[in-house]
Amino acid sequence: MAHKILIVDDEPSIVISLEFLMAQNGYDVFVARNGEQALDLIPEIKPDLVLLDVMLPNRSGFEVLQLLRKDKKTKHIKIIMLTAKGRDQDITKGITLGADAYVSKPFSTRALVEKVKETLSEANAK
Amino acid sequence: MRSERSLRLLPALIVAVILTGGILLYAFLLYLTTPDSAETLQSIIRENRPVVLFLLLLTAGVPAWLVYQLIQIRIGPVGRLADASTLLKQNMPPETGPPTGIPEIDRIASGLKDASELLRDQQQRLDRELKQASTRLSSERDVLSAIVNQLARGLIVTNSEAQILLFNDAAGRMLSYSELSPPVYLGLGRQLGRILDERLVSWAMQESVRRTGDEGVSFITTTAGNRLARVQVLPTTHEPTAGSGFLFFVNDVTELKSTQDQSSRFADEGIRKVRDSVAGIRSAAENLREYPDTDPKMQQRFYELILDESEKIAGIVLEHQAGHEERAKSDVALSLVSTDELFGLLRNMEGELEHQPEIGDPDEELFLHADAFTLPVGLLFLGKSIAEATGKIPELKTGKHDGYVRLSWMWKGEEILTEVAESWFEARPSVGGLQVPYPLSEIMQHHRAEWWQKTSDGGLCELSVILPMAPERPKSATPAAPEKQRAEFYDFDLFNQRADADTLKIRLDAITATVFDTETTGLNPTGGDRLISIGAIRIVNGKPDTNQQFDRLIDPGRRIPASSTAIHGITEDMVAGKPGAKKVLGDFSHFCADDPLIAHNAAFDMRFLELERANPDHFRQPVLDTLLLSTVLHPNLEGHSLDVLAERFGLETGTRHNALDDTLLTAALFVKLVPLLRSEGIVTIEDALRASRESLYARLRY
C-alpha cells in the first residue's frame, strides 16, 4: 500500500509542485492550507508522513508539531519541517521539539524526495 | 535720637540727684531721732496716703531710671563696639553707631572706623584680584564647555552619588523638559536619578565599577519626553575613591530603533518571501526537467508559476534595495559577552526579586553577541514569570546546539500554557524596577534569538532561548584599567561632597540648596493675601548657579492693592492669564526637589507656601533663614532687613523687590554669611538650624 503524505503549506505554488512531485513518486497525497486544517485532517487520514511548513496561518508549524508529539495516536507520525525563514534557529528549534527532519526552502526536489524516502524507511525499519 | 549735649549733662544730673538725695535722707534721719516723730509721721501718712505713695515711688523710680540710662549710654555703645570689633575680626567693615559723647568710647569707635576703611580698601583690591582670577578660570571653563558641547552625544558627569557636576547641550536637549507637567530640570547639583530612572542609574553605576572592560554598562530607557535613550555609563576610576565619579553618555535612539525594527522585520520577512518564491520556481523547474512526459496542461501550469514567482522576487528585491541605506547606518552593535558574564549580570539584577530564579554557574563558557541590559532583563523576566505562574523556582542552564547557545529555564512541574508564554514575549520585561521600554519579542528579534517550551518524559519542563554563538574572545592578560583622565581645570569640588544621607550633616560651604523669595498681595496670609510671584536660584556646592533660575508670576485670583504694587511693581494686567499658585508651586517643588530651602525672613514666605501648595508633602525640607542667621552673628545690631544687610556686606542691589532679584541678593548674602558662621563654629545645616532657633527665642524674649 502506498504511503500517505500530508502537505501542510499556505503557498499555492509550493503546494502545486509538491503535490505533483509526491504523486509522481507514488505516494497518496493530501493537502492542508493551515495548521488548524492539518490537525483536523490527521486523525482521519492517519498519514505516514507530514511535510509541515513552519510559517502557517492560525497555528504555527511548531505548534502543530508539539501537539502531534503529545498525542499518543499521532506521536509516531514522521514529520519533515519546511522553513522559509532562513534562520538556523528554526532548525534547532524544530529538531528539539521532535521533528524527524528539516528542509529549508528553496529545496532541491530530488533531495526532498530522498529525504522523504529516507524518513519513511526509518519508520519501516522500526 | 538724644542730643550730644544731653548726653554730656546726664552724668552731672546723676551726681546732682545723688547729692540732693543724700542731704534729704540725712535730714529725714535727724528728724526720726526727735520724740514725737513717729506719731506725727504716722498721722501724716494716714492723712496723705496717695501723696506719700507717690513720693515713695519717686524716690525709688528716679535712681532706677538714672541707672537704666547709665547702662544704655555706657554699656550700649560698648556692646555695639564689641560687635563692631567682631566684624573687624571677620574682615567686615564694622558699624560703630553715632558718637556717644564719651571720649574714651568715641576714640575707640573712630579707631575702629579708620581700621575699617583700611580694610575696605584692601578688600576691594582683593575683590579685583579675585575677579581677574575667576575670569581666567571661567575662560578655561569655557574651553572645556566648548569641547564638551561639540559632542553630538549627550554627556553628563556625576559624582559617586549621582549628583550632576557637568552636562553638555546635547544632554540638556535630550533630558530637560521644563515645559512638561511635571517638569524635569537637568541642572548642576541635581540628582540624575530624578531625571532618568533611579534604579537603572544606580544599577548601572554599581555594575560599571564591577565590570573591568572599557565599554562600561549600557541601558535603554524612556525619557520624560517619551523618547528612547541609550545610556552608556563609565566610571572615572575603578577604585572607589573620594574623587570618583561617572560619565553618562546619552544617545537618542528613538528613530534608530524604529528603523532597526523595520530593518530586521524586513530582513526576516523579505527573505522568507524570496525563499518561498524560489522554492516554488525551483520545484516547478525541476519537475519540468525530471518528468518531461507530464501532460501539457500541467507543464503550462508550471511555466506560469515560474513567471509569477519571478515577478514577485523582482518586486521584493527592489523594495529591499530602497531600504538598504537606512539600514546600513542603523546597525547598533551588540557586544561580545560570555555566559559567565551573562550569569553575573543576571545574579546582580535578581537581587530585588521576590521569587528568585536559581542562577548557578554556566555549565560551559560560551560566547554570544548580546546587549548587556536588555537580554539579562528579558531572561530574568522569563524566569520570574515562570516562578510566579508555576510556584516553582526554575533553574537556568546553558547548552550548545550546533552554532547556538541555549539558555534554558528548567523546572519540574506544570507546563506553561502557550498563550501565556506568548503573552510574556509581548510584554515589556521588567525586573525589580529595571525595565526595557519595548516588548521582549523585539529584544529577541534584535538578538536573532528563538524560543520554545518543551516537556521531557520525566516531567522536566524547559523554556529555552537560543542565540547565535560567537567566536571566543581573544584572551588578554589582564583587562587594562582605564587611564585616569581628570580635567584639572574644572571645578569638580562636588566630587568630594558625599551627599550624606542625613541632610543635616551637610556643610554650609558645600551646600546645594534652593534660595527663593516671594511677592504677595499683602502681608497677611491668613487674612486673604496671596502669592503673586516667586523667584528662585539654586546654590550648588556653596555657589549660586545663575543657570538654574526659577522666575514665575502667579495669578492670585484677587485684586492686587495699589499699596502692594507700589512695592513690587506687579500689576493686575501682568498676572492676568498666568497660572495659579497651585500649579506654580507644583513646578517649584520639582525645581527645588529635596534641596534645603533658603529665604530671607523665611517664616513669612513659608507661611504662604504652606497655605497655597497643592500637595501638603511639598516644602517639608529644612529651611534656613538668612535674617535669623544674621542675628546669630550680630545679635546687638539693630537692622537685619535685606536692604540693611546688603549695605552692611557691600552687596550690589539690583531692581529690588522683584522676587528674582531679591533671591539673587539673598543668595549672595548667604554666601557672605557662611564663612562668618563657620568662625562661630556653625558649620553644618544642623548647626545653623540650632543657632537660628536659639536666636529666634532670644529675640522673642525681648
> For testing the chain A interface, which of B417, B452, B466 should be mutated: the one with the most A CBs within 10 Å?
B452
Measuring CA to CA, how many Å separate B28 from each of B21, B24, B58, B90, B445? 10, 6, 16, 57, 116
Do the chains contact at B272 and A62, CB–CB below 8 Å? no
**Helix, strand, coil percentages for chain B (3-state, nearest 5):** 55, 15, 30
- CA–CA min distance A91, chain B (Å): 10
- Ranges of residues in chain B with a pLDDT under 70 are 1-11, 73-75, 91-96, 212-214, 238-243, 256-266, 321-333, 352, 473-501, 654-657, 697-702
Query: Nearest C-alpha of chain A: how many angstroms from B205?
Result: 35
* CB neighbourhood size of B262 (10 A): 14
Which pLDDT belongs to residue B485?
30
Does the ipTM surpass 0.90?
Answer: no
Chain B: give the shortest CA distance to residue A122, in Å.
22
Interface residue of A15, A17, A63 to substitute, partner B, most B CBs within 10 Å: A17
Least CB–CB distance from B287: residue in A21, A88, A96:
A21
Q: Which CATH number applies to B151-253?
A: 3.30.450.20
Which residues in chain B touch residue A106, judged by CB atoms under 8 angstroms apart? 275, 278-279, 281-283
Q: Which residue of B has its CA nearest to A9?
A: B276
CATH topology of domain B257-329: Helix Hairpins (1.10.287)
Min Cα–Cα distance to chain B from A41, Å: 22
- Burial of residue B676 (CB within 10 Å: 0-12, 13-18, 19+) is buried
Q: Which of B272, B269, B271, B228 is nearest to B250 (CA)?
A: B228
Check CB contact of B281 with chain A, cutoff 8 Å: yes
Which CATH number is associated with domain B500-701? Answer: 3.30.420.10
CB contact (8 A) between residue A84 and residue B271 = yes
Render pLDDT for B275-312 as a digit per residue (tens, 0 to 9): 888 888 888 888 888 888 888 888 888 888 888 888 88
Joined together, the cell numbers standing for residue B615 give 500637595
DSSP-assigned letter for residue B162: -
Would the CB atoms of B283 and A109 count as touching at under 8 Å? yes
Spell out which residues of chain B touch residue A63, defining contact as CB-CB under 8 Å. Answer: 418
**Domains of chain A and CATH, by start:** 4-125 (3.40.50.2300)
Amino acid identity, position B321: Q
Q: Which residues contact A76 (CB under 8 A, 6 or more apart)?
A: A123
The CATH class for the domain spanning B335-468 reads: alpha beta
Tell whether B408 is within 8 A of chain A (Cβ): no
Q: Which residues of A touch B305 (CB under 8 A)?
A: 13, 16-17
Residues B631-662: tens digit of each pLDDT: 888 877 777 888 888 888 888 776 666 888 88
The number of residues in chain A equals: 126
Which residues does chain B have within 8 Å of residue A87's beta carbon, measured at their own beta carbons? 268, 448, 450
Q: Does the beta-carbon distance from A14 to B276 stay under 8 Å?
A: yes
Return the HEC string of B479-505. Answer: CCCCCCCCCCCCCCHHHHCCCCCCHHH
Answer yes or no: do A88 and B271 touch at CB < 8 A: no
More confident residue, A26 or B134: A26
List CB contacts (< 8 A) between B313 and chain A. Answer: none
pLDDT at A77: 93
Closest by Cβ to B291, choosing from A24, A66, A96: A24
If contacts are CB pairs under 8 Å, which of residues 342-401 in chain B contact chain A? 401
In this structure, the strands spanning A49-53 and A78-83 are parallel
Distance CA B598, CA B666 (A): 8
pLDDT reported for residue B684: 92
For every residue of B422-485, DSSP letters joined together read HHHHHS--EETTEE-SS-HHHHHHHTT-EEEEEE-TTSEEEEEEEEEB-PPPPP-SSPPPPP--
For the question of residue B600 being annotated catalytic, the response is: no
Nearest Cα of chain A lies from the Cα of B268 at a distance, in angstroms, of 7
Chain B interface test: which of A54, A70, A89, A91 (most B C-beta within 10 Å): A89
Residues 6 or more apart whose CB falls under 8 angstroms from that of B639 comprise B645, B648
Please tell me the distance in Å from A83's CA to the nearest CA on chain B.
8
Measured torsion, CA atoms of residues B119, B120, B122, B128, in degrees rounded to the nearest 10:
160
Whether residues A106 and B452 touch (CB distance < 8 A) is answered with no
**Model pLDDT, residue B480:** 38
Chain A residue numbers touching B284 (CB-CB < 8 A)? 13, 16-17
Q: Which of B320, B369, B618, B657 is catalytic?
A: B657
Q: What are phi and psi of A48, to 5 degrees?
A: -85, -30
DSSP secondary structure, A64-114, as one string? HHHHHHHSTTTTT-EEEEEE-S--HHHHHHHHHTT-SEEEESS--HHHHHH
Phi, psi of A29 (to 5 degrees): -110, 135
3-state secondary structure B163-211: EEEEECHHHHHHHCECCCCCCECCCCCCEHHHCCCHHHHHHHHHHHHHC
Task: Tell me if residue B234 falls in helix, strand or coil.
Answer: strand
**Is B283 close to A92, i.e. CB distance below 8 A?**
no
Nearest CA in chain A to B417: A63
Domain ranges of chain B: 4-103, 151-253, 257-329, 335-468, 500-701
Q: Using an 8 Å CB-CB cutoff, list chain A residues near B451.
A: 93
CA distance A81 to A58: 17
Sorting pLDDT into bands at 50, 70 and 90, what band is A4? Answer: very high
Taking the Cβ of residue B58 and every Cβ of chain A, the question of whether any pair is shorter than 8 Å is answered with no
